[in-house]
Copies of this chain bind each other. A is one copy, B any other.
């Protein structure tokens, strides 16, 4: 009935994509979204790729421009190490930078660990999609999504995507009164 929500999930890790260990990022992202988003139905596009800037850029472009995703979540590659290039790749495909997401994700993580300031995660808008970098660890993925997702549905509204509703026990989507639709 209502439009599907197309979500791109990108796990960025040399070792997971190389089969050295099992990827834990994509399952953590799907688990969180599956619980928090109550409508519309979500279709996932999943990618597991190495920490190569051109590969990350091409993957983000493909998910937004061809697959038509409204939301893309990446996990991994946001630290200070040489191979961590997720933020650079994300910036390179941005139409607009959304500095508040990175600030707030670091502020949230700082409640848990002082090394949160080492995370360089950011968010951008590309065409009809919001792209958010998340940390690599499942625990940190949950903490940061808990901390910023309340603003995601209204952001998706503003860039032309489907109307997202959430399980308010987990995360309460916020919209100005004029933007709230009757419950489905």
Determine whether A159 belongs to the interface, using a CB cutoff of 8 Å to chain B.
yes
CB of A76 within 8 A of chain B?
no
A115 close to B (CB within 8 Å): yes
**Number of A residues whose C-beta is below 8 Å from B?**
40
CB < 8 Å neighbour of A99 from B102, B110, B150 = B102
Say yes or no: is A81 at the interface (Cβ < 8 Å to chain B).
yes
* Measured CA separation A36–B104 after assembly (Å): 29
Q: In the complex, what residues of B have CB within 8 A of residue A84's CB?
A: 96
- Say whether B106 contacts A159, CB under 8 Å: no
By a beta-carbon cutoff of 8 Å, the part of chain A in contact with chain B is: 79-82, 84, 88, 96-104, 106-107, 110, 113-120, 122, 125, 130, 148, 150-151, 154-155, 158-160, 174-176
Contact B80 A115 (CB under 8 A): no
In the assembly, what is the distance between CA of A88 and CA of B94, in Å?
12
B125 to A80, Cβ gap below 8 A?
yes
